[in-house]
Amino acid sequence: MVELKAQTPFGDLLPLHISDMTMAARDLGQLTVLGVFDPAGLSDTLEAAHGVALPEPLQSTAKGDVRCLWFGREEALLVGPAPDEALAEHAALVDVSDGWAVAELQGPGAEDVLARLAPVDLRAAAFKPGQSLRSPLRDMPAAITRTDNGFLLMVYRSMAATLVQELRRAMEAVASRR
32-89 pLDDT, tens digit each: 999 999 999 999 999 999 999 999 999 999 999 999 999 999 999 999 999 999 999 9
Please state the rounded mean pLDDT for residues 149-171.
Answer: 98
Q: Are residues 80 and 107 in the same domain?
A: no
Q: Are residues 57 and 104 in the same domain?
A: no
The 3-state DSSP composition of the chain as helix, strand, coil percent (nearest 5) reads 25, 35, 35
Q: Are residues 164 and 121 in the same domain?
A: yes
Number of domains the chain contains: 2
CB atoms under 10 Å from CB of 48, counted, come to: 10
Domain boundary among 97, 116, 134: 97
pLDDT at 112 over 90: yes
CA distance 33 to 133: 15
155 located within any domain: yes
List of residues 6+ apart from 164 with CB closer than 8 A:
10, 13, 14, 16, 23, 103
Q: Are residues 107 and 21 in the same domain?
A: yes
Q: What is the CATH number of the domain that holds 81?
A: 3.30.70
- Domain region containing 112: 16-27+99-176
Could you give phi then psi for residue 75, rounded to 5 degrees?
-135, 145
49 located within any domain: yes
pLDDT at 1 over 90: no
Please state the rounded mean pLDDT for residues 18-23.
Answer: 97
